[in-house]
């Protein structure tokens, strides 16, 4: 199982780096600087550089999120783990569409952009698959105790 933990760590780091790089690229996409519009095989050089830099800081970002959400102190970390992975998978898909497939942003479903609907559905399914592959139940999981209703 040690290999699975290492693979999961690198998958999470790549997802975090992709989210940050695509966010920066989408933010600066409309900039009037010529060097930001240079592309290699349809991928902007700004995205490649931002992805490389964000890969270096992804571990620190992950540690900060774990610390802020007090993941280690929760009696059952599963719910927060699922939300975190689901949010990563959702924002990766949004970032991919916003940076690489801008034409997919036009169709709508009842006023909501269709790519957001599909990203949400895909993230839900991908979270379930990701959990089956990588989630390990901690040894000491305490069941939540509910108060008796009078």
Q: Which residue's structure tokens are 């540690």? A: 63
pLDDT at 93: 92
What DSSP letter does each residue of the chain carry, written as one string?
-HHHHHHHHHHHHHHHHHHHHHHHHHHSTT---GGGG-EETTEEHHHHHHHHHHHHHHHHHHHHHHHHTTGGG-S-THHHHHHHHHHHHHHHHHHHHHHH-GGGGS-EETTEEHHHHHHHHHHHHHHHHHHHHH----S--PPPPPPPP-
67-111 per-position pLDDT tens digit: 887 877 777 666 666 777 888 899 999 999 988 888 888 888 888
pLDDT at 55: 92
Distance of CA 131 to the CA centre of its chain: 14
1-49 per-position pLDDT tens digit: 588 778 888 888 899 999 999 988 888 777 676 666 666 766 778 888 8
117-144 per-position pLDDT tens digit: 899 999 989 888 888 887 776 665 555 5
Long-range CB contacts (within 8 A, 24+) of 127-131: 127/82, 127/85, 127/86, 127/89, 130/85, 130/89, 131/81, 131/82, 131/85
pLDDT at 43: 72
pLDDT at 65: 82
- Its pTM stands at 0.74
pLDDT at 68: 83
Query: Cα Rg for the chain, rounded, in angstroms?
Result: 19
Contacts of residue 21, Cβ cutoff 8 Å, sequence gap at least 6: 47, 50, 51, 54, 95
């Amino acid at each position: 199982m040690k290999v699975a933990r290492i693979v999961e760590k690198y998958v999470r780091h790549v997802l975090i780096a992709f989210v940050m790089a695509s966010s920066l690229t989408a933010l600066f996409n409309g900039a009037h600087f010529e060097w930001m519009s240079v592309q290699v095989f349809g991928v902007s050089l700004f995205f490649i550089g931002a992805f490389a830099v964000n890969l270096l800081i992804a571990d620190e970002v992950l540690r900060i999120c774990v610390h802020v959400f007090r993941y280690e102190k929760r009696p059952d970390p599963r719910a927060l783990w699922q939300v975190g992975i689901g949010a990563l998978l959702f924002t990766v898909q949004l970032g991919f569409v916003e940076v690489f497939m801008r034409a997919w942003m036009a169709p709508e479903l009842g006023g909501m952009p269709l790519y957001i609907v599909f990203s949400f559905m895909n993230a839900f399914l991908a979270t379930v698959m990701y959990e089956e592959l990588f989630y390990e139940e901690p040894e000491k999981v305490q069941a939540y105790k509910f108060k008796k209703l009078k």
